[in-house]
Amino acid sequence: MSENLSLVVHGPGDIKLEKRPIPEPCPGEVLLKIHSVGICGSDVHYWQHGRIGDFIVKKPMVLGHEAAGTVHKLGEGVEHLKVGDRVSIEPGVPRENCEFSKIGRYNLSPTIFFCATPPDDGTLCRYYVHNASYCFKLPECVSYEEGAMIEPLSVGIHACRRGGVHMGQKVLIFGAGTIGLMNLLVAKSMGASPIVVVDMVQERLDMAKCMGASCVCKMEKNTCPREMASKVKTALCGMPDVTIECTGAEQCVQSGIYATKSGGVLVLIGLGNTNTTAPLIAVTTRELDVRGIFRYCNTWPTAINMLASQMVDVKPMITHRFPLDQAIEAFELVKKGTALKVIVQCEEPEKKEDPQANALEQCQQQCQQLLQQCQQQCQQMQKDQKEHCGRIGGGRS
Amino acid sequence: MSQGVSRPTNVVTVEKRPIPEPGQNEVLLQMNAVGICGSDVHYWQHGKLGDFLMRKPMVLGHEGSGTVVKVGAGVQHLKAGDRVAIEPAYPLHNDDFCKSGRYNLSPRMFCCATPPYDGHLCRYYAHNANYCFKLPECVSSEEGAFIEPLSVAIHACRRGRVKLGSKVLICGAGPIGLLNLLVAKATGAAQVVICDLSSSRLEKAKEVGADFTILVTKETPQELAQEVEKVLGCMPDSTIECTGAEFCVHTGIYSTLSGGTVLLVGHGPALVSVPLLNAAIREVDIRGMFRYCNTYPMAIAMLASKKVDVKPLITHRFPLDQAVEAFETTKKRLGIKVMLKCD
């Protein structure tokens, strides 16, 4: 039985690579050979703090929830997938057919399973079992890495849907990390224009510009929210219809409230403190609609279509790759905050070719062949001589 | 003619002013009934409300109905003798908000009794004819005056997504809370629970149709939310927050079902502490509302069909020349709606 190397968090500050058994798929499930897994800020948070809000790591848990892999084994009753199919994994799987599920908002189901949210294990391992209905086949033209990016892309799709983003709207995005950039790509493909992206880090703003932001604005730690709103209005030649807040920072939430056009929508993706100080009176008197999002629902088929038709290109966001056995270094890098998206490659490596050994082997083989040829020729010559001596008669030896 | 006028020095007086002439597209009305609103009292006490500051004496009152006495040039849908309800706020420019049907968000609006514009707590008043709505015989002048606060409730229930089968929490059992209760029930809400600090207000709420009432004492917002769930048997899909108090905003958020809506009617301070995280991760939408738009025809229809009965909410009546006393009564929060008879 080969090992199932997995990256496991035990408590705050404590992650280890461990060997775990390879699971068996139950009815309705598939066993996957995981190929690519993206590291999310939440994975790093569980590592550093052992919890996010009320989700607390009470027993060792495998991290990772942004994954794609290959179907390795089918559980009973699985018909839409076969062994060898390349799939992207939707990590949130409702456990019961509750009222939220029935109305199509299964992401709000209180008992939902979710990879790498305690107590549910994630996908940073070699072999992983998942509900087959939440594994989506990837077309040939969509790579495993893109398949792993579907999870953060889904956050963008769900946020833009909740925000009602559509053609011709002006959009403001706070935060130019992976989530902000995904929202930028989705908003753009929905026809929004112009789109302004705000961040504190110049490199991130440069990336946003490369990825299609109409304009960018730098925010400082001491930029007053009303001033930020004014800067945005200038940049967009008007107030945004939709603001997508990806940072969780109070300064950005306040700025978003002041900036958004009357009757518009402020989407909250970033998670901040339990309580936020905000000018709610402005929400009231200008009829703003403040809508949070919780993960996503019904986004995978859309995301696959978008990637397959090349409406969005997520590949530039992948800045670093590590094999699974170097996952801890990968996490250290993400923690630093300088990388954009770091992918962990989880397939067991094949034996590597040693060029020197190959050359030696080849040489040996050639020598072997030459030796055989020589021996054959010698034998033939001896045979010929015997015959010749026999014909002359007598024979001097 | 006499009018109730507020001066910036916290004085409200009854004065005589000239009878206006109706301009192009205006009608001159003989005022019949005008209700007093908390905002009128606020201008009287503080001379300002939010960013609106009184710089000169201003006639109060924006919840009125009257009878057409004279029509201005271009007015075709009204004639002398018609009784109308007055929609007090209308846009001054046909901007994008107007064109898309949300004229209440237009930045420059005329609004009765909002500085610098006069209201209609007077005997004669001229108004834009497009914002005067004819009342059928079966709708009284007092009911007509009630259409303004009723419109707040109609707009709130729309924005708050109250519909058939909804479970609704209303924070505050003052006139606005009670009107929201009436509209929610008329809209088909299955059950409405209303909370307040005052047991007498909650009694009134029960009288006019609240399924459940909760008297708020020393609970935390989370505890009150649990009580709401217990009493209703489930979490409400919509919460209509009518107080502006931070405590109630917290309660509304904690109480509301995931995927539901908290609708902010009440006005609070410039900055408040809000559990936005709780709302965000449960996809509870927090929506604001400003006055109303496109509500008058619906309000008239509902009153005419008797599907909504606002008469029990009128608790005090005064003639116009006792307006000051009427204001004192409102300020003391006695009763629900104080109505002034202006004819």
What percent of chain A is modeled with pLDDT above 70?
A: 96
Burial class (CB in 10 A: 0-12, 13-18, 19+), A60: middle
Q: Residue A15: which of A51, A53, A61 has the closest Cα? A: A61
Please, which pLDDT band fits residue A396 given cuts at 50, 70 and 90?
very low
Q: Which amino acid is at A135?
A: C
- Residue A116 contacts B, CB cutoff 8 Å: no
Superfamily of domain B2-146+310-341: Medium-chain alcohol dehydrogenases, catalytic domain (3.90.180.10)
Query: CATH 3.30.930.10: does it fit domain B151-288?
Result: no
CB atoms within 10 A of CB B69: 16
pLDDT score at B2:
60
Answer yes or no: are the C-beta atoms of A158 and A296 closer than 8 Å: yes
Task: List CB contacts (< 8 A) between B276 and chain A.
Answer: 253, 268, 272, 275-276, 278, 290, 292
Helices (H) and strands (E) in chain A, counts: 11, 21
Q: Indicate left, alpha or beta for B47 from its phi (over 0: left) and psi (-120 to 50: alpha).
A: left
Identity of residue A94: P
Place of tokens 């496991």: A8
User: Nearest residue of B to residue A265 by CA position?
Assistant: B287
Q: Is A54 on the interface with B (CB under 8 A)?
A: no
- A268 vs B contacts (CB less than 8 Å): 276, 280
Nearest to A31 by CA among A21, A16, A42, A43: A21
Q: Reply yes or no on whether the pLDDT at A243 is more than 70.
A: yes
Band (A395; pLDDT cuts 50, 70, 90): very low
CA distance A280 to B245: 11
Q: Which residue from B minimizes the CA distance to A245?
A: B280
pLDDT at B10: 67
Helix (H) or strand (E) holding A378: helix A355-392
- Residue A349 predicted with pLDDT over 90: no
**pLDDT at position A360 over 90:** no
Write down the mean pLDDT value for chain A. 94
A374 part of contact set with chain B, CB < 8 Å? no
In which band, very low, low, confident or very high, does the pLDDT at A87 lie, cut at 50, 70 and 90? very high
Specify the pLDDT at position A393: 55
What are the extents of the domains in chain B?
2-146+310-341, 151-288
Amino acid at A19: K
- pLDDT 10s digits, A289-348: 999 999 999 999 999 999 999 999 999 999 999 999 999 999 999 999 999 999 999 998
The rounded distance, in Å, linking the Cα atoms of A286 and B58 is: 25
pLDDT of the residue at A397: 44
Mean pLDDT by 10 residues, chain B (343 residues): 61 85 97 94 87 88 97 97 98 96 96 95 96 98 98 98 98 97 98 97 97 97 98 98 97 98 96 97 98 98 97 95 92 92 91
B280 contacts in A (CB within 8 Å)? 268, 271, 292-294
- How far is residue B93 from each of residues B90, B103, B105, measured CA to CA in Å? 9, 9, 11
pLDDT class of A2 with cuts at 50, 70, 90: low
d(CA B283, CA B291): 25
Instruction: State whether A272 and B259 contact (CB < 8 Å).
Output: no
pLDDT mean over A70-88: 98
Yes or no, beta carbons of A272 and B271 under 8 Å apart = no
CA distance A272 to chain B (A): 6
Q: For residue range A166-222, list pLDDT tens digits in order.
A: 999 999 999 999 999 999 999 999 999 999 999 999 999 999 999 999 999 999 999
Which is it for strands A86-89 and A51-52: parallel, antiparallel or unpaired? Answer: unpaired
CB B149 within 8 A of CB B227: no
> Nearest CA to CA, how far is A147 from chain B (Å)?
25
Q: What is the pLDDT of residue A392?
A: 64
Contact: B277, A271; criterion CB under 8 Å: yes
Q: Read off the pTM.
A: 0.90
| pLDDT tens sequence across B111-163 | 999 999 999 999 999 999 999 999 999 999 999 999 999 999 999 999 999 99
Give the DSSP H or E segment for A171: strand A171-174
Q: Is the pLDDT of residue A257 over 90?
A: yes
pLDDT at site B24:
96
Say whether pLDDT at A233 is over 60.
Answer: yes
Taking the CA of residue B214 as centre, how many other CA atoms within 13 Å lie in the half-sphere pointing to its CB?
25
Write out the DSSP string of B314-342. Answer: EEEEEEGGGHHHHHHHHHTT-SSEEEEE-
The minimal CB distance from B275 to the residues A103, A162, A275 is found for: A275
- Residues of B in Cβ contact (< 8 Å) with A284: 264-268, 288-290
Q: Which residue type, as a one-letter code, is found at position A170? A: K
- Return residues 3-32 of A near B (CB < 8 Å): none
pLDDT at residue A1 in the model:
40
- Beta carbon pairs, A and B, within 8 Å: 125
Q: To 5 degrees, how large is the angle CA B227–CA B229–CA B230?
A: 65
Domains B2-146+310-341 and B151-288 share a fold: no
Q: Taking CB atoms and an 8 Å cutoff, what residues of chain A touch B271? A: 277-279
**Nearest residue on chain B to A290, judged by CA atoms?**
B286
CA dist A1 to A4, A121, B22, B155, Å? 9, 21, 93, 66
Give the pair of three-digit tokens for residue B222: 């989370």
